[in-house]
């Protein structure tokens, strides 16, 4: 192993994308393999035995927290065996973190909810609007998702409503967040629409302006305050874009990019990326060393990507200027300004 490769550390959290397949066609989907004219290489999906080996390998390397998505995770054959293995290994190592499962909700039913409950899963289901659900996803299932939030609450399964906010559903964000909480969702995860994947074809109709981003934050804060609940924004926002950060008491906004520092991604065929949003493959989980593009990895791990527009800013240590992968996707350079905002 070269000296350069030895500097690589794995974050303590991993996101498994267990399948490339999905039964929705979301306009905002950022999966890199759905990008127009994508050159993303989709290999053969790992089977259950291979995913279980990945879990053993990563726990040995210090990973303690797992999230599962896709595509649509529930379309993966043997998903329950993959979850059971993670649950067993976490238990053996006395690790208490829940397995976060991100789903569009379409295949969720009572049996899945009970299995998730028994396996220590926290379920995050997507609700990108109520009246605009079908427009955004291609499928008319908002009521189905709400029913699953109700049933999950009834059996004590913890949940999050994952709301991707676009220009087309901002007008109903108050209602969307409210009905999610009223129907049993435990918390809210807001994601502003970020260009990437299929979303690259829909930027004009989906991308929020700065003013709309602030509206998104204040509306969600209002709902959470009324309900006495808490939520997070999953897609980083530049600090200087937010009009009044101190007013956000129930909504936590991240300003730092967590890719390759807080978490990393294993794609359906075992390829590694810094973030779900990233189309850039940096290695493979069964290679030794795992990370082959050390330069790219280390740029994220060491935050060596501060845009020149931020030079001299007093907040530079606590703000990474929005999404670094969006800067790369839109400008071909992770050290450029986040062009989805600036």
63 vs 90, beta carbon nearer ligand SF4: 63
CB 53 within 8 A of CB 20: no
Binding status of residue 258 toward ligand SF4 by CB under 6 A: yes
Question: In what side-by-side order are the strands of the sheet with 231-233?
Answer: 251-253, 231-233, 187-192, 159-165, 121-126, 99-103, 65-69, 13-17, 263-266, 271-273, 283-284
Counting residues that bind ligand SF4 (by CB under 6 A) gives 30
What x-and-dash track marks residues 229-248 binding ligand SF4 by CB under 6 A?
Answer: ------xx-xxx--------
Touching ligand SF4, residues 266-305 (CB under 6 A): 275, 277
CB 128 within 8 A of CB 145: no
48 vs 240, beta carbon nearer ligand SF4: 240
22 vs 59, beta carbon nearer ligand SF4: 22
Binding segment toward ligand SF4, per CB under 6 A, in 22-30, 75-83, 89-97, 212-220: 22-30
Cα 184 to its chain centre, rounded Å, is 21
CB 46 within 8 A of CB 81: no
Residues forming beta bridges with residue 101, ordered by sequence position:
68, 123
Binding status of residue 185 toward ligand SF4 by CB under 6 A: no
Q: Which of 194, 254, 244 is nearest to 221 (CA)?
A: 244
Binding segment toward ligand SF4, per CB under 6 A, in 68-76, 175-183, 221-229, 288-296: 68-76
Q: How far is residue 281 from each of residues 193, 199, 204, 232, 284, measured CA to CA in Å?
A: 22, 19, 27, 27, 8
Q: Smallest gap, in angstroms, from Cβ of residue 303 to ligand SF4?
A: 10
- Among residues 321, 329, 330, 336, the one that binds ligand SF4 under rule CB under 6 A: 321
Binding status of residue 166 toward ligand SF4 by CB under 6 A: no
74 vs 90, beta carbon nearer ligand SF4: 74
Binding status of residue 217 toward ligand SF4 by CB under 6 A: no
29 vs 181, beta carbon nearer ligand SF4: 29
Q: Which residues, including other chains, have CB under 8 Å from residue 167's CB and lie 6 or more apart? A: 193, 205, 206, 207, 208, 212
Tokens 């986040």 locate to 338
Tokens 């845009």 locate to 307
Binding status of residue 70 toward ligand SF4 by CB under 6 A: yes
d(CA 42, CA 46): 11
- Among residues 319, 329, 330, 336, the one that binds ligand SF4 under rule CB under 6 A: 319
d(CA 150, CA 137): 21
Binding segment toward ligand SF4, per CB under 6 A, in 175-183, 218-226, 279-287, 320-328: 320-328
- Among residues 52, 325, 336, 340, the one that binds ligand SF4 under rule CB under 6 A: 325
Query: Which string of b and e fits 91-115 if b means at least 16 CB within 10 Å?
Result: eeeeeeebbbbbbbbbebeeebbee
Binding status of residue 145 toward ligand SF4 by CB under 6 A: no
In degrees and rounded to multiples of 5, residue 226 shows phi and psi of -60, -35
Q: Smallest gap, in angstroms, from Cβ of residue 109 to ligand SF4?
A: 17
By CB under 6 A, name the binding residues for ligand SF4. Answer: 22, 24-26, 29, 31, 70-72, 104, 126, 235-236, 238-240, 257-259, 275, 277, 310, 313, 315-316, 319, 321, 323-325
């Amino acid at each position: 192993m070269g000296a350069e490769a030895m500097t690589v550390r794995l974050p303590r959290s991993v996101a498994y994308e267990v399948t490339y397949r999905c039964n929705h066609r979301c306009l905002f989907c950022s999966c890199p393999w759905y990008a127009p004219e994508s050159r993303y290489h989709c290999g053969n999906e790992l089977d259950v035995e291979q995913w279980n080996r990945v879990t053993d390998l990563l726990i040995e390397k210090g990973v303690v927290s797992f999230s599962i998505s896709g595509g649509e995770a529930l379309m993966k054959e043997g998903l329950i065996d993959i979850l059971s293995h993670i649950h067993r290994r976490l238990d053996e190592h006395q690790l208490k973190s829940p397995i976060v499962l991100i789903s569009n909700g379409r295949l969720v039913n009572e049996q899945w909810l009970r299995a998730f409950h028994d396996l220590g899963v926290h379920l995050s289901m997507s609700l990108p609007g109520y009246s605009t659900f079908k427009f955004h996803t291609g499928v008319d299932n908002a009521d189905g998702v709400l029913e699953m939030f109700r049933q999950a609450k009834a059996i004590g399964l913890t949940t999050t409503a994952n709301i991707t906010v676009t220009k087309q559903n901002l007008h109903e964000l108050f209602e969307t967040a409210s009905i999610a909480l009223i129907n049993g969702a435990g918390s809210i995860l807001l994601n502003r629409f970020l260009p990437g994947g299929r979303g690259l074809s829909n930027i004009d109709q989906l991308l929020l302006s700065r003013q709309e981003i602030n509206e998104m934050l204040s509306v969600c804060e209002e709902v959470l305050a009324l309900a006495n609940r808490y939520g997070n924004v999953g897609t980083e926002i530049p600090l200087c874009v937010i009009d009044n950060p101190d007013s956000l008491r129930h909504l936590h906004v991240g300003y730092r990019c967590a890719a390759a520092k807080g978490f990393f991604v294993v794609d359906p065929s075992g390829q590694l990326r810094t973030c779900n949003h990233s189309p850039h493959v940096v290695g493979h989980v069964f290679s030794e060393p795992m990370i082959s593009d050390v330069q790219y990895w280390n740029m994220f791990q060491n935050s060596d990507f501060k845009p020149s527009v931020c030079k001299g800013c007093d907040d530079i240590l606590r703000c990474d200027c929005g999404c670094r992968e969006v800067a790369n996707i839109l400008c071909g350079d992770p050290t450029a300004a986040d062009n989805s905002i600036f």
